Structure 1
Amino acid sequence: MQEDGTAARQGSMALPAIGLTILSGLLYVLGYAASKSLVTDHGLSPLQVTFLRCGVILLAGLVAASWPGSRMSWHRLLRPQRAWEQRTAAAALVASNALAVLAYTLLSVTAASALGFTAPLLLALLGGLFLRERVSLGRWLGTSVGFAGMLLIVKPGGEASLPGIAAAFAGALTYAVYQILIRRLRDVATTRDTVMQVALVGVVLLAVPVAADWRPVSLLAAGLVVVVTLVQTAALASIAAALHRGEASRLAPWQFSGLLWAMALDALVLHVIPGAGSLIGALLVIGGGALAQTLKAPERRRV
């Protein structure tokens, strides 16, 4: 009976978790596209973009913490539960963000997205290894099918920038590590805690290197930084909330949906109509996510 109740609770949380994962994919695509503009059009460095985002979030959080009746707390910010784990997760995301901005700068948006979406495969693997989630055959097949669909959509093999490729893969790995740690911390850290720890750790880690290579920030660039911060903070909150509701390995295939948003953005902004291969890839992405939900791991026998 207890197992039935647990299964029912997991089922009731599955759809919201999937929806939040898909939303985070849309927001991340929009945020990183705007971040690329800050580097290529406004002359900022990838580290500076990440530092400014963290600074805006931290400033807003500190103001909120000082407001009477606010749910923000200085104590939770400065002395969080399992502080080392929370701050290690935050450092992983800060590194992932900086690497992703660098990758988007060195590669085309579609190629950077393609390489960055190796994170779901890494997440499925790490979820089984470190969270002891039972990664069923369906989840492996779903993730693999989604990955194959991603390759059909973006065809990344023609990219020649090895530093860009390395940055994209490293960003994917650190993002997968972040999600694993957040899943482990789901009982002690809220989404708000996660956002604020990332902001605090980002400011502390990046202050010195950014100050050493500070580049002027125009009024237009400052406004775009605020927009990027709002969009990517919403993406971060969405994926953190999803991981509070669902297993990391089960949600992994749905993260490929970000490529569908990238295709739609290309069609709307650049008027690039996807070909047959891309459309087949889109179907594989959707099918992979569905497959991961339908084929479950076999029940373990009781001894």
Structure 2
Amino acid sequence: MAQERANRSAIVAVGLALMASLLYTFGYSLSKALVSTYGLSALQVTFLRCALVLAASLALMPWPSSGITLARLVRPPRALEQRVAAVFLVLSNALAVLGYSLLPVTAASALGFTAPLLLTALGGLVLRETISVGRWLGAAIGFVGMLLIVRPDASPATAGILASLGAAVSYALYQILVRRLRDVANSLDTVVQVAVVGVALLSGVMIWFWRTLTLEAFGVVVMFTVVQTTALFCIAGALRRGEASRLAPWQFSGLIWAMAMDAVMFGSHPSLLSLGGGALIILGGLMAQGWLGGRAR
């Protein structure tokens, strides 16, 4: 029975990680439109997302069933760690929005998804997770798949590359901290603290980065916020149920979603090499889970 529960938990964790990758990719595609089409700054997009989530949290506070209380908002368990994690996610979000605004969706996703490799390494170094050869090999195969999709022979903007890589590093550190906090902080805590920290950090600089917001742009901001917040719930839920290093290769699936969105939204169809890269990403995820060649230990 215990083994069956563990297997079910692993399957749910993978499903949540896949859903988070899909939602994050779609959300950042929306952020690209907010910056490129509507003229908002990356910091403004991040600030508005945090402000909307915080406003919704405060509005839900009078209802006990929401689980949001003033005490948990102001003095959450292990407050310092939760807020450091939130700082990393706010930084990752702002850098990712910038990266997506400067690069094609697939390229920005591919660079951003170096995070799973970092997550595999940090899972062993920080969380003391046992990193089997299968998990390392799965992450490496996923990375090769990423290179087949991106094919870094074309030279996109340096600022976009640096922003996307910075977002990946920040996001990996955020996930490690969320995994460490899994016994004291739930997904709601994670979402609310990111909103609190984001508003506190960015309010002071909005005087320089604020751009006029049309009603249509605000609607896209609301959609972006809903999508990204749902993704945040998903990845937090996945990390509570599964080891970070096991889930890392599955996050490469965001590249597959990015190719699909490029095809559907921008009419850019993937090449055979890109499709082969997508297949390697799936293979890497399966190997990391130990679902090929026996259970990973």
TM-score range (shorter-chain normalised) is over 0.9
| Counterpart check, 1:102 vs 2:98 | yes
| Counterpart check, 1:130 vs 2:126 | yes
| Counterpart check, 1:92 vs 2:111 | no
SS in 1 for 2:153: helix
Q: Where do 1:1-303 residues align within 5 Å?
A: 5=2, 7-67=3-63, 69-294=65-290, 296=295
Contact preservation (8 Å) 1:17, 1:241: yes
Quick one: which amino acid aligns to residue 39 of structure 1? V
Cα deviation for residue 17 of structure 1 reads 0.3
TM-score by length of 2: 0.95
Superposed CA offset, 1:235-261 (max 9, x none):
111000000000000000000111111
SS in 1 for 2:13: helix
| CA shift in 2, pair 1:272/1:108, >3 Å | closer
Cα deviation for residue 273 of structure 1 reads 2.5
Give RMSD over aligned pairs. Answer: 1.4
Contact preservation (8 Å) 1:115, 1:156: no
Aligned length: 294
Quick one: which amino acid aligns to residue 185 of structure 1? L
Q: Which runs of 5+ in 2 are unaligned?
A: none
Superposed CA offset, 1:38-70 (max 9, x none):
111111110000000000000000000123553
Contact preservation (8 Å) 1:133, 1:249: yes
SS in 2 for 1:217: coil
C-alpha distance in structure 1 between counterparts of 2:28 and 2:261, whole Å: 12
Q: Which runs of 5+ in 1 are unaligned?
A: 299-303
Cα deviation for residue 293 of structure 1 reads 1.3
Contact preservation (8 Å) 1:146, 1:284: yes
Superposed CA offset, 1:56-105 (max 9, x none):
00000000012355321111110000000000000000000000001111
Cα deviation for residue 297 of structure 1 reads 5.1
Superposed CA offset, 1:218-240 (max 9, x none):
11111110000000001111000
| CA shift in 2, pair 1:212/1:29, >3 Å | same
Contact preservation (8 Å) 1:137, 1:296: no
User: Which moved further from structure 2: 179-188 or 58-67?
Assistant: 58-67
Contact preservation (8 Å) 2:288, 2:296: no
C-alpha distance in structure 2 between counterparts of 1:224 and 1:284, whole Å: 34
SS in 1 for 2:14: helix
Query: What's the % identity of the aligned pairs?
Result: 57
Superposed CA offset, 1:10-31 (max 9, x none):
3221000000000001101110
